[in-house]
Structure 1
Amino acid sequence: MARSQEHRALPAGLLASAEWQEACRSRDFARIFRLVKVKAGIYPSRVAALCGMTPSRVGEIMAGQRGLAHIDVIERVADGLRIPGAMLGLAHRPWEIPASSITEERPPEPLPAVPREPQRIETAEELDDLLALVDGRASRSTLMALRSSVQDYWRRDNAHGGATLRPAVVGHLRYVGRLLDSAEAGLRHDLQGVAAELARLSGWAYFDARQYSTARTYFTQALKLSHTQGDSLFMANVLSCMSLLATYDGNPSDAVALACRAQDAARAAGEQPLVMSMLHLREAFAHAALRDAQACHQAVDRSRAQYERSRGHEAEAPDWVQYFDQTKLLVDTGIAYARLGEPARAEPLIAEGLRRENTDQQRGRAFHAYWLASAQLQLGKLDEACSSAGLALDLAAAIDSPRVSGHVQELHRRMLPYAREAPVLAFEQRMREALG
Structure 2
Amino acid sequence: MPAAEGPRELPPALLTDPEMIRACRTRDFATIFTLVRRRAGIYPSRIAALCGMTPSRVGEIAAGRRKLAHIDVIERVADGLRIPGAMLGLAHRPWEIPAQATLTEPQPAPPPPATPVADLDSILNLVDAAQVTRSTLAAIQSSIQDYWRRDDQHGPAALRPAVVGQLRHTQQLIDNTRESPLRHGLLTLAAELARLAGWAYFDARQFSTARTYFTQALTMAQSVGDRQFIANVLSCMSLQATYEGDANDAAALACAAQDAARGTDSPDLVMAMLHMREAFAHATLHAGNDCHRSIDKARAHFERADHASAPQWVRYFDETKLIVDTGIALAQLGEHRQAEPLIAEGLRREHRDQQRGRAFHAFWLASTQLRNGALDQACSTASLALDLATNVDSPRIVGHVREFHTHLAAHAQEAPVIAFEAKMREAFS
Alignment TM class, shorter chain as reference: 0.7 to 0.9
Choose which of 167, 172, 178 in structure 1 pairs with 2:166: 172
Report what 2:385 is aligned to. Answer: 392
Cα gap change, 1:428 to 1:222, in 2 (>3 Å): same
2:262 aligned counterpart, secondary structure: helix
Kept in 1, the 8 Å contact 2:98–2:425? The answer is no
Report the counterpart of residue 342 of structure 2 in structure 1: 349
Give matches, 1:20-419, under 5 Å: 107-109=109-111, 122-135=115-128, 136-186=130-180, 187-270=182-265, 272-310=267-305, 313-419=306-412
Separation (CA, whole Å) in 2 of partners of 1:105 and 1:308: 43
The superposition leaves residues 414-435 of structure 1 with CA deviations (integer Å, 9 ceiling, x where unpaired) of 1111111000000000000001
* TM-score in terms of structure 1 length: 0.73
1-side partners of 2:427 and 2:101: how far apart? 20
The one-letter code of the counterpart of 2:258 is Q
Q: Distance in 2 between matches of 1:224 and 1:276?
A: 21
What are the Cα deviations for residues 46-93 of structure 1, in whole angstroms up to 9, with x where unaligned?
xxxxxxxxxxxxxxxxxxxxxxxxxxxxxxxxxxxxxxxx99x99769
TM-fit CA distance, 1:288: 0.4
Query: CA distance change for structure 1 residues 385 and 270 in 2, over 3 Å: closer, same or farther?
Result: same
Deviation at 1:143, TM superposition (A): 1.1
Q: Write out the 4+ residue segments of structure 1 that deviate beyond 3 Å after TM superposition.
A: 89-97, 104-110
Which residue of the partner structure matches residue 51 of structure 2?
none
Change (3 A) 1:108 1:137: farther
Question: Aligned-pair distance for 1:141?
Answer: 1.4
Structure 2, unaligned runs of 5 or more = 1-92
How far apart are residue 125 of structure 1 and its match?
A: 3.9
Contact 2:276/2:298 (<8 A) preserved:
yes
Out of 149-158 and 128-137, give the one that drifted further.
Answer: 128-137
- Note closer, same or farther for the CA distance 1:367–1:94 as it changes in structure 2 (3 Å cut): closer
Amino acid in the other structure paired with 1:385: A
CA gap 1:381/1:95 in 2 versus in 1, 3 angstroms: closer
Say if 1:196 and 1:222, in contact at 8 Å, map to a contact too. yes
Give the TM-score normalised by the residue count of structure 2. Answer: 0.74
1:425 matched to 2:418: yes
Letter in 1 for 2:176: S
Matches of 2:254 and 2:328 in 1, distance apart? 17
Could you tell me whether the CA contact under 8 Å between 1:137 and 1:179 is conserved in 2?
no
CA shift in 2, pair 1:291/1:91, >3 Å: farther
**Is the Cα contact below 8 Å between 2:389 and 2:397 reproduced in 1?**
yes
Are residues 213 and 127 of structure 1, via their aligned partners in 2, closer, same or farther at CA, if it must alter by over 3 Å? closer
TM-fit CA distance, 1:121: 5.7
CA distance in 1, matches of 2:378, 2:268: 35
**Identity %, equivalent residues:** 60
CA displacement 1:234-275 (0-9 Å, x = unmatched) = 000000000000000110000000000000001042461111
In 2, Cα distance between equivalents of 1:91 and 1:256:
36
Number of aligned residues:
334
**Alpha-carbon distance in structure 1 between the residues aligned to 2:219 and 2:325:** 28
Equivalent-residue separation in structure 2 for 1:395 and 1:261 (angstroms): 35
Q: Closer, same or farther in 2 for the Cα pair 1:303/1:129, shift >3 Å?
A: same
The change in CA–CA distance for 1:93 and 1:404 in structure 2 (over 3 A counts) is closer
The amino acid that maps onto 2:205 is R
Please, what is the CA RMSD of the aligned residues? 2.6
Q: Contact (CA 8 Å) 1:419, 1:425: kept in 2 or not?
A: yes
The amino acid of 1:302's aligned partner reads K
Q: Which has the higher contact order (CA 8 A, sep 6+)?
A: 2
- 1:273 & 1:292 partners in 2: Cα distance? 24
Q: Is the 8 A contact 1:207 1:215 kept in 2?
A: yes
